[in-house]
Amino acid sequence: MLSRRLLRVKVVKAVYAHLQTECDNIPATEKKLIASIDKAYDLYFHILQLLPELVRYAESRQEIARNKMLPTYEDLNPNRKFVENRAIERIASCDAIADYCAAKGMSWSENADLIKNIYNTLTEQPFYRQYMAAETRSFREDAELAANIFLNILELNEQLEGVLEDQSIHWVDDLGYILTMAARTLTSMRESHTQIKLLPKFKSEEDLDFAKKLLRESIVHFNDHRELIDSHTNNWDIERLALMDNVILAVAISESKNFSSIPVKVTMNEYIDIAKYYSTPASSTFINGVLDKIVTRGVEEGWIFKTGKGLL
């Protein structure tokens, strides 16, 4: 399922875009946010579908080798462990994945060069060579090999990033989160279970409500939060702060104020980490210091209130 971290990132980006365009239409921004979330879930299925494509490419190479004019013993008797990987076979035969991708018009059929690139990179990896060299294998090892492709090959593939960027403006930033989801799907497979347990879009129905409420509160109260930020940045000209810093702080304040069940430390750590990837090199340290002051004040004055033990 899509993580709260990814939802927070998408809210931050949606608020930033809303402010950049000076748009007053919050429902339109919310619609774009939901569309971005839906696209992330589309990528989950699209990425799963990539594994059978790698197997088909590997099998086509073996077929070409067998049909050479003077095939070697290895050409006629290839190592078929990868092309017969049972975990990937389950992905290939899963109607739910095939139907979802067909409905969304998602396919890798036009990306033969990418499939070749990924396969060639895979065959050079120690974990792949060890898998292929082992005399025996279990279903668990098949699934782990497939998961390793997601975790150790795809996130670092620049050609894949380029292809995804052409297909959707959202997907490159979503890729790391979605690869983790895909890997979890593989490692949760069991030989005795014939059906794949695909992850739902959300852990609970509350997740979408969380994202929509966080978006609205952040936009509606953005100017109020900027004044609050200004009061805790005496040595800074708030107009010269990166807009993204202001947005990250404003969204963090909105979460602290409006979600009583989310611990303060969780909120702070989430937005400090988001700042590391989506703002300036110094932003995480700056946001850490300012947010700590604001949260401390909010708790003391009672406008940040948490229910349950250990949430402050």
For the chain, give the secondary structure using H, E and C: CCCHHHHHHHHHHHHHHHHHCCCCCHHHHHHHHHHHHHHHHHHHHHHHCHHHHHHHHHHHHHHHHHCCCCCCHHHHCCCCCCCCCHHHHHHHCCHHHHHHHHHHCCCCCCCHHHHHHHHHHHHCCHHHHHHHHCCCCCHHHHHHHHHHHHHHCHHHCHHHHHHHHHHCCCHHHHHHHHHHHHHHHHHCCCCCCCCCCCCCCCCCCHHHHHHHHHHHHHHHCHHHHHHHHHHCCCCCCHHHCCHHHHHHHHHHHHHHHHCCCCCHHHHHHHHHHHHHHHCCCCHHHHHHHHHHHHHHHHHHHCCCCCCCCCCC
Contact indicator for 190, 179 with CB cutoff of 8 Å: no
Give the pLDDT band of residue 225 (cuts 50, 70, 90).
very high
Indicate whether 248 belongs to any domain: yes
Indicate whether 213 belongs to any domain: no
Indicate whether 17 belongs to any domain: yes
Please write the tens of the pLDDT for every residue from 247-285: 999 999 999 999 999 999 999 999 999 999 998 888 888
Angle (nearest 5°) at CA 188 between 156 and 160: 20
117 and 36 fall within a common domain: yes
Percentage of the chain exceeding pLDDT 70: 96
Q: What is the pLDDT of residue 311?
A: 54
Alpha-carbon radius of gyration of the chain: 24
Q: What is the pLDDT of residue 84?
A: 97
124 and 20 fall within a common domain: yes
Return the CATH number at 261: 1.10.940.10
Q: Please identify which residue in the block is written with the tokens 């139907």.
A: 99
Please write the tens of the pLDDT for every residue from 145-156: 999 999 999 988
172 and 91 fall within a common domain: yes
Q: Please identify which residue in the block is written with the tokens 């290895």.
A: 74
What mean pLDDT do residues 100-124 have?
97
Distance CA 211, CA 213 (A): 6
Torsion sign over Cα 34, 38, 41, 46: negative
Indicate whether 192 belongs to any domain: no
35 and 79 fall within a common domain: yes
Indicate whether 136 belongs to any domain: yes
Q: Per-residue pLDDT for 198 more than 70? A: yes
166 and 250 fall within a common domain: no
- Which domain does 106 fall in, by range? 4-187
Lowest mean pLDDT among 26-40, 68-82, 99-113, 199-213: 68-82
Q: Please identify which residue in the block is written with the tokens 């036009």.
A: 110
Q: What is the pLDDT of residue 89?
A: 97
Closest CA to 149 of 196, 115, 100: 115
Please write the tens of the pLDDT for every residue from 131-187: 999 988 899 999 999 999 999 999 889 999 999 999 998 899 999 999 999 999 999
Give the pLDDT band of residue 44 (cuts 50, 70, 90).
very high
158 and 93 fall within a common domain: yes
First to last CA, the chain: 27
178 and 225 fall within a common domain: no
Give the pLDDT band of residue 235 (cuts 50, 70, 90).
low
Q: What is the pLDDT of residue 14?
A: 96
261 and 125 fall within a common domain: no
Indicate whether 133 belongs to any domain: yes
Final residue belonging to a domain, choices 187, 213, 241: 187
Distance CA 231, CA 290 (A): 10
Q: Per-residue pLDDT for 197 more than 60? A: yes
Distance CA 244, CA 250 (A): 10
Indicate whether 306 belongs to any domain: no
| Per-chain mean pLDDT for the chain | 92
146 and 225 fall within a common domain: no
Indicate whether 247 belongs to any domain: yes
182 and 226 fall within a common domain: no
Asked whether the whole model's pTM tops 0.95, one would answer: no
What's the total number of domains in the chain? 2
Q: Please identify which residue in the block is written with the tokens 């299925």.
A: 45
Lowest mean pLDDT among 52-56, 162-166, 215-219, 307-311: 307-311
Q: Per-residue pLDDT for 202 more than 80? A: yes
Q: What is the pLDDT of residue 121?
A: 97
39 and 179 fall within a common domain: yes
250 and 158 fall within a common domain: no
User: Tokens representing 102?
Assistant: 């067909």
278 C-beta neighbours (distance < 10 Å), count:
18
The residue ranking higher by pLDDT, 119 or 279, is: 119
